[in-house]
Structures are given as structure tokens and as C-alpha cells.
Amino acid sequence: MSSSGRTALVTGASAGIGAAFARHLAAEGHDLILVARREDRLTALAAELSSKHGVRCEVLAADLADREAPRSIMERTTSLGLHVDILINNAGMSGNTAFADAPFETLAAEIQVMITAVTELAHLAVPGMKERGYGRIVNLSSLAALLPPAASLLYTAIKSYVLDMSQALDMELKPHGINVTALCPGFTHSEFHDVMGTRDAAQSKLPSVLWQSADAVVREGWRAVENGNPVCVPGVVNKVIAASSKPIPTRVGYVLGKTFNPFKQ
């Protein structure tokens, strides 16, 4: 397949939803800038996608917990003669230690990766998108952002910011040909729970019907941003959960959030 002439920057591209987005976009003919900490995995994925789809794949090893990373990524992109038409803000992290017990450096890293870097990468990419009259931005939020508060460290609060920010950006930017979508998956088969150390706990507590594949999440998320939908909750079961949570009074939701906490060890 020949290149579409458009370039997608995917963060957290070494595994899970990020790698699935990279594969999906490559199959559509988009050139790729793959960003993650694990350069060896990015290099292997880039080789696979270039060979299979004939698209250009550039690898940028970076840790988005580094305050300078977003600007460095965009500067490197420019030096490669590329511009970002599609931005997939997928990189994420979450601790598994109670807020009061976690070192503040850990909490600050979560905020940097999932709030500051997400916002800054969009801020850096949008001017060029406006100039070209085209842009697609997918920000990874979570089903958790649509549910009553849960005792899951900063994760729910962070993902709620991503949800609200994405909707605000979509309203502002849609007249310029830029669609922004907050993708709100539920439990997804990926390495996220392995890193958190909660895969066994989550899988033992939750029925299999609640779990989705990364490919299924990506298909719905990409269709949503192409169609101009500012929020995407992938999966029928997740849609039902999100819809049914809306009428729950705050006080009841707070009790439920503390009681049902799949992140709790």
C-alpha cells in the first residue's frame, strides 16, 4: 500500500492499544512516528509495518515522564521532514500504591504522562493541523471517567480531565477540520494491568464479558474520531455501564466506588 500522505504520531506505541493503533493506521496507509520508552520494541514494530504496508515508520524513544519530552518529540518530527496530522495520545501509567504512601515523584510522573504531556503534544500539533485544515486527535481516557469515583489513586481524576479536555478541544477545533475524541475503554487485554500488578486481581473479580481486545477498542475509537464523535465508549457492555451510571446520585456513587474497586489489591 502506498502512503496516504498523512502522518500519525502514536505514544505508548510499543504494546497494547498503542501498538494496535499503529497497526490499524499503517494498514490504512498512514506514515507513523512511534513513541515509547522501549526502543527495541518500537524498532521491531516499525520494521513489521514498513514491510507489510509500505509506509514510513520513524522510531522516537522517549519517556513522557520527562518534562522536556513533548517538545523534543515535536522538534525531532520536524527535523525528519514530517508533520503530525493524526495524534494518538495513548501513553499511560498508574501506580498501585495508596496515595498517602506513594512517593510524590510517582504521582508527579502520572500527572506528567497523562495530563501535561497529552495537553502539550496536542498544543504543539494543533497549529499545523489548523494550517492544513485537517487533524485527528484521539486521547485515551477511560470508562472510569464516566463512572462514580473509585478508590483508584489519581487514575480516575486524570482520565476525567482527559475526557473533559477532549470535548472542549473538539468544540473549538471542529470548524478547522480537526476532530478530537476521548476514547474511554473499559478493561482491555494489554500490558497495563501487568505493569500495575493488578491483572490477576482484576481478572479474578470481573467476568470475561467485561474485557475487550485492543484491536476492538482501536476499531471503534478510530471510527469515532473519523465520524466526529467527541466521546467513544467501545463495546456494548461498556456503553450500557456508562449509560446506567448517569442517574446514580453522588452519595450512592461514592459508596459504590469505594466498594467496587478492581484496582484494589
Is residue 265 in a domain?
no
Please name every residue paired with 140 in a beta bridge, in sequence order, or none if there are none.
183
Cα 263 from Cα 150, distance rounded (Å): 9
Q: Which residues contact 89 (CB under 8 A, 6 or more apart)?
A: 11, 117, 118, 121, 122, 137, 138, 139, 140, 162
Is residue 1 in a domain?
no
Q: Supply the pLDDT for residue 101.
A: 85
Q: Supply the pLDDT for residue 93.
A: 87
Active site residues: 155, 159
Q: Supply the pLDDT for residue 94.
A: 74
Is residue 2 in a domain?
no
Is residue 180 in a domain?
yes
- Whether the Cβ atoms of residue 83 and residue 5 lie closer than 8 Å to each other: no
Amino acid at 93: M
| Measured CA distances, 222 to 42, 97, 101, 146, 207 (Å) | 21, 33, 38, 20, 26
Is residue 143 in a domain?
yes
Tally Cβ neighbours within 10 Å of residue 44. 13
Please name every residue paired with 189 in a beta bridge, in sequence order, or none if there are none.
213
Q: Which residues contact 201 (CB under 8 A, 6 or more apart)?
A: 262, 264, 265
Is residue 156 in a domain?
yes
Number of Cα atoms under 13 Å in the Cβ half of residue 241: 20
How many distinct structural domains can be found in the chain?
Answer: 1
Tally Cβ neighbours within 10 Å of residue 88. 31
Cα 106 from Cα 95, distance rounded (Å): 7
Q: Supply the pLDDT for residue 264.
A: 44
Q: Supply the pLDDT for residue 210.
A: 66
Is residue 264 in a domain?
no
Of 237, 239, 213, 235, whose CA–CA distance to 17 is shortest? 213
User: Which structural domain range is residue 38 located in?
Assistant: 7-259
| Measured CA distances, 246 to 72, 142, 148, 242 (Å) | 40, 15, 9, 7
Number of Cα atoms under 13 Å in the Cβ half of residue 130: 12
Q: Supply the pLDDT for residue 98.
A: 79
- Whether the Cβ atoms of residue 88 and residue 9 lie closer than 8 Å to each other: yes
Residue 24: all three cell numbers together: 490499524
Amino acid at 190: S
Q: Supply the pLDDT for residue 255.
A: 61
Of 235, 239, 119, whose CA–CA distance to 180 is shortest? 119
Q: Supply the pLDDT for residue 195.
A: 47
Bridge-based pairing state of the strands 187-189 and 211-213: parallel
Is residue 116 in a domain?
yes
What is the residue-averaged pLDDT of the chain?
Answer: 87
pLDDT (tens digit, 9 = 90+) per residue, 63-96? 999 999 999 999 999 999 999 999 999 999 877 7
Residue numbers in the chain where pLDDT is lower than 50: 193, 195-199, 201, 204, 262-265
CATH of the domain at 36: 3.40.50.720
